[in-house]
Amino acid sequence: MDLNLEGKKVVVTGGSRGLGRAIAEQFLAEGAEVSTCARGEAGLAQALDEMRAAGGKVHGAALDVRDAAAFRTWIDQAGAEMNGIDILVSNVSTRLQGADEAWWRNSFETDFLQHARAAEQALPFLKKSDAPSIVFISSIAAVLTNLPPDELAYGVMKAGLVNYAGQLSARLSRDAIRVNVVSPGPIHFEGGTWDAIRQANPKLFEAAARLPQLGRHGTPKEVAKSAVFLASPASSYTTGVNLRIDGGAVKTANF
């Protein structure tokens, strides 16, 4: 199946590693042009070098998405550099540790507000596209009530993101802009959250592997393939959806 992504202009936030990088690479493999960002300059530069060496047309800038002015400026620059934005994949998250009010505010900035900021800033570009769409990366943490204590704010913000995306899909339908959510379950990759847990707390890692019906962690590529399909013109009649990619971890009928 042709996803019709050849030449499409895509912004993926947080593409230097993990799910964001796998999503960026999948778009590049489909012939799209990608612009991405991350805070760490060295990690981003290495990721960009490797993606370019594989033949990808990819741009990137080091910045913190919590810096509203820098983030807005970068999205404008990405749109200008690529001559448009057809697709936004808003992926950045940082599982912040804490328990005080500063932690709540920081979590709000990182796991909610910057997503809304990204959508708002990309909107003028998306309105000019012939196949515009937005995908927000949430988490099954949005619906789980047995999260570890330090993931309390993370789950709350991810739940807010799902509601926000649903409302946005209704509002932007008049411009034919599709808005969807991907909610991954536990995803394991070298250097990622679950890799750190595997080393520090193998019992928790194994318990997480038993949570999905499929009995294992997922991979970034498994998330990327579904996310890229959902974002692509091949999925043109799908909007307002929250797609769980969790191996069946959330055991409820998904009406």
Ligand X SMILES: NC(=O)c1ccc[n+]([C@@H]2O[C@H](COP(=O)([O-])OP(=O)(O)OC[C@H]3O[C@@H](n4cnc5c(N)ncnc54)[C@H](OP(=O)(O)O)[C@@H]3O)[C@@H](O)[C@H]2O)c1
In whole angstroms, the minimum distance from the beta carbon of 230 to ligand X comes to 14
155 touching ligand X, by CB under 6 A = no
Kindly tell me which residue out of 94, 106, 219, 238 binds ligand X, with binding defined by CB under 6 A: 94
Stretch that binds ligand X, among 12-20, 76-84, 126-134, 171-179 (CB under 6 A): 12-20
In whole angstroms, the minimum distance from the beta carbon of 176 to ligand X comes to 26
Beta carbons within 8 Å of 7's beta carbon, 6+ residues apart: 31, 32, 33
Q: What is the total count of residues that contact ligand X (CB under 6 A)?
A: 28
Element (H, E) at 219: none
60 touching ligand X, by CB under 6 A = no
In whole angstroms, the minimum distance from the beta carbon of 210 to ligand X comes to 15
Smaller CB separation from ligand X, 131 or 182: 182
Q: List, as one string, the DSSP characters of 84-138.
A: --SEEEE---------SHHHHHHHHIIIIIHHHHHHHHHHHHHTT-SS-EEEEE-
Beta carbons within 8 Å of 14's beta carbon, 6+ residues apart: 20, 36, 37, 38, 65, 91, 92, 93
Task: Give the closest residue to 133 by CA, choosing from 16, 228, 22, 65.
Answer: 228
195 touching ligand X, by CB under 6 A = no
Q: Which residues bind ligand X (CB under 6 A)?
A: 14-20, 37-40, 43, 64-66, 91-94, 110, 137, 139, 184, 186-187, 192-194
Residues taking part in catalysis:
138-139, 154, 158
